[in-house]
Amino acid sequence: MRKLLFVAASCAFLLAGCNRSPDFYFRRANALLARGKEADALENYNKALLLKRDFPEAYTARGMLYERQGDRQKAGLDYRKAIEINSSYLPAYNNLAAMLMDGGNYAEAVRLLSSALEMRPGYPYALLNRGLARYKLGDCGGATLDLSRALELNPKFGLAYYHRALCARNAGNLPAALSDLDAVLALDPSASLALFEKGKALYALKDYAGAAVELRKAAGLKPEDPAYAYWLALSLYRAGDLPAAFEAAGRAAALKPESHQAEGLLGDVCAAMKDLPAAKEHYAKAAALAPAYAAAYKARAAALERPAAPAVKRRAKARNHKRG
């Protein structure tokens, strides 16, 4: 008992001697964290909370540090403690919800963010994150409402434009999707995902040359992504730039050797370039890679053997068709 009393007395003496406030340690911890000194920052957050147990800002900041270190359990405990202390401290709701979203728990994130928005309907970060969570849950209607409201409050939310564009694309509203993707690119011209989706939207609108321009930019930013190379090759093929299409399709096949789509596209490009042996070889590779589609690829290869109808016969057939 005397040992415990001695320890307690010693702690009291040390705290009194330090003569530092909880806010002092909190501010110093934030500054240390900004400089990358995580261990020192954690020590100062702990000191702030030792002096002031009902300090939701410090719990939330320490939770962010724990999350940064990969300890989600401790981070979650700190965020929930901040909410328990002050149920109206919204950053704790937002941070906890964002962490839940990172873990794939979108439904719980929506519930938590809805609670925050009941207290402050115009909290832009909660609207943004709830919109993103709703998108992940397949609720594009709810996501679009949240994201649109978030953009009214903060028009620099690139993620809101991007995910609203995906919802518009899913609904078949390609002009709206393109408008939002352009907004993303106005904020960040190097947003590769936005360039990629813009290229695919233009492709769907049959603007193959325009699609190739955007997809070339995207592929330049992510040269190791086989999907980017494949879509660039596809748009170039449709635009009629066969040598460039062959190069891009070859890169897609090299990046993803198991891609039957890339091999099939190489077959199509070679066929269009009248290199029939190479076309057959690529179709055979595609068929071997995807037995479920083997019949289709074999049919493409077989079609190369069929002689083209004489021009005179084709014209006569066309006249007869018109008469009929």
Taking only the tens place, the pLDDT of each residue in 207-235 is 999 999 999 999 999 999 999 999 999 99
pLDDT of residue 8: 35
pLDDT greater than 60 at residue 64: yes
- How confident is residue 306, by pLDDT bands cut at 50, 70 and 90? confident
Type of residue numbered 273: M
Determine how many CB atoms are found less than 10 A away from the CB of residue 220. Answer: 13
All domains in the chain, ordered by first residue? 190-307 (1.25.40.10)
Q: Could you tell me if 60 and 89 are in contact, meaning their C-beta atoms sit under 8 angstroms apart? A: yes
Other CB atoms within a 10 A radius of the CB of residue 96 amount to 25
pLDDT 10s digits, 78-127: 999 999 999 999 999 999 999 999 999 999 999 999 999 999 999 999 99
Q: How far is CA 121 from CA 110, 116, 125, 153, 171, in A?
A: 14, 8, 11, 11, 27
Q: What gap in Å lies between CA 241 and CA 212, rounded to an integer?
A: 10
Q: What is the pLDDT of residue 295?
A: 96
- Is pTM beyond 0.85? Reply is no
More confident: 5 or 166 = 166
| Exposed / middle / buried, residue 307 (Cβ in 10 Å: 0-12, 13-18, 19+) | exposed
